[in-house]
């Protein structure tokens, strides 16, 4: 069965909307999202709130913690500084935006971008409950960021790039919105270079953050083509055979020469 890009995006939107509703009702993030993939043996422990330390969890609204669906903690590696403007791609329930807003302080600003109305509503309530006033949540897709060029200092994301149906567009948009010398600090699921897209698809679903993952080599090549330098992809923990949670870092070149990579063939999409 072949799944189109639009169908994949709608499946992601629906699953994460369900997760937001589940959290609002007092449950956990729900099944079928990055907090646990019913299509694989991926344990929930490698995703979500356990990747934040107790001190961070203790200063956040409970629903922000419960709605955490990521595979890492990008605020721990992004080295945010007072007064900076940060953008979180796929901000979900707002956990990383809230933490970022506190890191950059009252003179800084934290944007959260999400395509899911239910998650945006949850994130805004969480930010209000946390007393954060320098956070702005925007509706949109990460392939078309609704911000002007060269407007942010740092881009973060937590296990969302792998869900995109057009990853070259995401990488290009990150470079576009970053100021020269701006940086990324991303947590994502990344495959070992030995795994073909078909092999990644065998290890889990697209919406479960497995099938759509880039390989380490693809990530490096994609970021360099988008105009980034000093690219690093560091594996942190295994989430499936040959698939890892990873920290992705890079710096936008002062005068990037961007070349758009061809869209990866969505061979993995048929698994969903």
Residue 131 tokens, joined: 């007393």
Give the per-residue pLDDT at 46: 44
Q: Which of the four pLDDT bands, split at 50, 70 and 90, describes residue 51?
A: low
Domains within the chain, CATH numbers bracketed? 5-271 (3.40.50.150)
Contact 187, 257 (CB under 8 A): no
Global pTM value: 0.81
Distance, CA of 14 to CA of 70 (rounded, Å): 17
Mean pLDDT of 183-208: 86
pLDDT, tens digit, for every residue of 256-269? Answer: 665 555 444 443 33
In angstroms, the Cα distances linking 260 to 166, 184, 237, 257, 264 are 11, 18, 30, 10, 12
């Amino acid at each position: 069965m072949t799944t189109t890009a639009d169908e994949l995006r709608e499946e992601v939107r629906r699953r994460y909307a369900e997760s937001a509703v589940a959290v609002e009702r007092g449950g956990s993030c729900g099944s079928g999202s990055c907090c646990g993939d019913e299509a694989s043996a991926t344990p929930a422990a490698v995703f979500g709130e356990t990747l934040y330390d107790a001190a961070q969890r203790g200063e956040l609204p409970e629903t922000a913690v419960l709605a955490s669906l990521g595979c890492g903690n990008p605020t721990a590696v992004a080295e945010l500084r007072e007064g900076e403007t940060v953008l979180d791609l796929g901000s979900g329930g707002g956990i990383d935006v809230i933490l970022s807003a506190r890191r950059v302080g009252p003179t800084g600003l934290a944007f959260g971008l999400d395509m899911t109305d239910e998650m945006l509503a949850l994130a805004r309530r969480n930010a209000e409950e946390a007393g954060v006033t320098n956070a702005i949540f925007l509706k949109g897709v990460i392939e078309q960021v609704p911000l002007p060029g060269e407007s942010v200092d740092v881009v973060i994301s937590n296990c969302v790039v792998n869900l995109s149906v057009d990853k070259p567009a995401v990488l290009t948009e990150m470079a576009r919105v970053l100021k020269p010398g701006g940086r990324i600090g991303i947590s994502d699921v990344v495959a070992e270079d030995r795994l073909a897209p078909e092999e990644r698809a065998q290890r889990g679903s697209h919406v479960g953050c497995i099938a759509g993952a880039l390989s380490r080599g693809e990530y490096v090549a994609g970021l360099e083509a988008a105009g980034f330098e000093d690219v690093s992809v560091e594996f942190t923990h295994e989430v499936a055979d040959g698939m890892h949670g990873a920290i992705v870092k890079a710096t936008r070149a002062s005068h990037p020469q961007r070349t758009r990579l061809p869209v990866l063939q969505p061979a993995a999409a048929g698994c969903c």
